[in-house]
Structure 1
Amino acid sequence: MEDTWNHYYNILFKISSITGAWPYLKLRTKIFRVTLRTTITLTILIPQLAYQFKCKKDMQCTFKAMTAYLLSFIAMLKVYTIQSNTRTIKNFIQHLLGYWKELQTSEEYEIMKSYAENSRRFSLVYTIYCFIAVIVFVLMSLIPYALDIVLPLNESRPFLPPYQGYYYFVDMQDYFFETISHGIVAWTVTVAGLVVHDCMFVTFVEHVCSMFAVVGFRYEQLLFNRNEEMKDVNNSSEISHKKIAFFVHTHREALKYAQLLENTFTTPFAIQMLIVTIEMSISLLQIAQGNEDTLEALRYIFYVFGQLIHLFFLSFEGQKLIDHSLQIRDKIYNSCWYSASIKLQKLIIFVMMKSLQPSFLSAGKIYILSLKSFTTVLQTSMSYLTVLTSMQ
Structure 2
Amino acid sequence: MNSTWGHYYNVIKRVSSLSGQWPYQRSKTRLFCVCLVTLSTISMIIPQIAKFTTCNGDLQCIFETMTSYMLTTVTLVKLYTCYFNRSKIKMLIDRLFVDWDELETPEEYEIMKKYAENGRRYSLGYSLYCFTAVCIFMCVSLIPQLLDVVLPLNESRPILPTYPGYYFVDEKKYFFYIFSHAIVAWEIAMTGIVTHDCMLLIYVEHVCSIFAIVGFRFEQLTCKRTDSMKILHSQSNDISRRIAFSVHTHRKALRFAELIEDIFSLTLAIQLALNTVMISITLLQITQQDSDILESLRYVLYVVAQLIHLFCLSFEGQKLIDHSLQTRDKIYNSFWYETSAKSQKMLLFVMRKSLRPIFLSAGKIYIFSMESFTTVKILEIYNALSKIEQFL
**Shorter-chain-normalised TM-score: which range?**
over 0.9
Secondary structure, counterpart of 2:276 in structure 1:
helix
Partner of 1:300: 299
Q: Which runs of 5+ in 2 are unaligned?
A: none
CA apart distance, 1:249 = 0.7
Secondary structure, counterpart of 2:225 in structure 1:
coil
Distance of 2:129 and 2:230 partners within structure 1:
48
CA apart distance, 1:33 = 1.4
Change (3 A) 1:6 1:240: closer
Secondary structure, counterpart of 1:55 in structure 2:
coil
Distance of 2:74 and 2:386 partners within structure 1:
24
Secondary structure, counterpart of 1:186 in structure 2:
helix
**Residue deviations 1:275-315 (CA, integer Å, cap 9, x gap):** 11111111122222343111111111111111111100001
The 10-residue stretch of structure 1 (82-91 or 238-247) with the greater mean CA deviation from structure 2? 238-247
Secondary structure, counterpart of 1:140 in structure 2:
helix
Partner of 2:141: 141
The 10-residue stretch of structure 1 (45-54 or 203-212) with the greater mean CA deviation from structure 2? 45-54
The 10-residue stretch of structure 1 (62-71 or 48-57) with the greater mean CA deviation from structure 2? 48-57
CA apart distance, 1:349 = 0.6
In 1, are the aligned partners of 2:18 and 2:191 still within 8 Å (CA)?
no
Aligned pairs for 1:329-344 within 5 A? 329-344=328-343
Distance of 2:257 and 2:210 partners within structure 1:
10
* Equivalent AA in structure 2 for residue 256 of structure 1: R
Secondary structure, counterpart of 1:4 in structure 2:
coil
- What root-mean-square deviation, in Å, do the aligned CA atoms of Structure 1 and Structure 2 show? 1.4
Structure 1 position 373 matched with structure 2 position 380: no
CA apart distance, 1:210 = 0.5
CA apart distance, 1:13 = 0.7
Distance of 1:13 and 1:5 partners within structure 2:
13
Partner of 2:246: 247
Distance of 2:77 and 2:5 partners within structure 1:
28
CA apart distance, 1:153 = 1.2
In 1, are the aligned partners of 2:327 and 2:354 still within 8 Å (CA)?
yes
* Equivalent AA in structure 2 for residue 36 of structure 1: L
Q: Which runs of 5+ in 1 are unaligned?
A: none
Distance of 1:229 and 1:349 partners within structure 2:
28
Partner of 2:38: 38
Secondary structure, counterpart of 1:357 in structure 2:
coil
**Residue deviations 1:1-36 (CA, integer Å, cap 9, x gap):** 632344211111111112211112111211111112
Partner of 1:281: 280
Aligned pairs for 1:35-184 within 5 A? 35-167=35-167, 169-184=168-183
Distance of 2:152 and 2:197 partners within structure 1:
44
In 2, are the aligned partners of 1:119 and 1:206 still within 8 Å (CA)?
yes
Partner of 2:382: 382
* Equivalent AA in structure 2 for residue 132 of structure 1: T
The 10-residue stretch of structure 1 (9-18 or 378-387) with the greater mean CA deviation from structure 2? 378-387
* Equivalent AA in structure 2 for residue 363 of structure 1: A
* Equivalent AA in structure 1 for residue 271 of structure 2: Q
Distance of 2:297 and 2:34 partners within structure 1:
33
CA apart distance, 1:229 = 4.9
Structure 1 position 362 matched with structure 2 position 361: yes
Distance of 2:277 and 2:222 partners within structure 1:
53
**Residue deviations 1:212-237 (CA, integer Å, cap 9, x gap):** 0001100000011223755443xx21
Partner of 2:312: 313
Aligned pairs for 1:340-351 within 5 A? 340-351=339-350
In 2, are the aligned partners of 1:78 and 1:193 still within 8 Å (CA)?
yes
In 1, are the aligned partners of 2:144 and 2:160 still within 8 Å (CA)?
yes
In 2, are the aligned partners of 1:215 and 1:247 still within 8 Å (CA)?
yes
CA apart distance, 1:49 = 2.1
The 10-residue stretch of structure 1 (53-62 or 269-278) with the greater mean CA deviation from structure 2? 53-62
CA apart distance, 1:123 = 1.4
**Residue deviations 1:336-358 (CA, integer Å, cap 9, x gap):** 11111111111101100000000
In 1, are the aligned partners of 2:12 and 2:198 still within 8 Å (CA)?
yes
**Residue deviations 1:120-169 (CA, integer Å, cap 9, x gap):** 101111111111111111111111011111111122212101111012x3
Distance of 1:348 and 1:162 partners within structure 2:
60
In 2, are the aligned partners of 1:278 and 1:381 still within 8 Å (CA)?
no
CA apart distance, 1:53 = 2.4
* Equivalent AA in structure 2 for residue 87 of structure 1: S
Secondary structure, counterpart of 1:9 in structure 2:
helix
Distance of 2:389 and 2:367 partners within structure 1:
28
* Equivalent AA in structure 2 for residue 23 of structure 1: P
Distance of 2:55 and 2:326 partners within structure 1:
53
Secondary structure, counterpart of 1:152 in structure 2:
coil
Partner of 1:29: 29
Distance of 2:344 and 2:306 partners within structure 1:
48
**Residue deviations 1:320-370 (CA, integer Å, cap 9, x gap):** 000000000000111011111111111101100000000011111110010
Change (3 A) 1:186 1:53: same
Distance of 1:343 and 1:5 partners within structure 2:
38
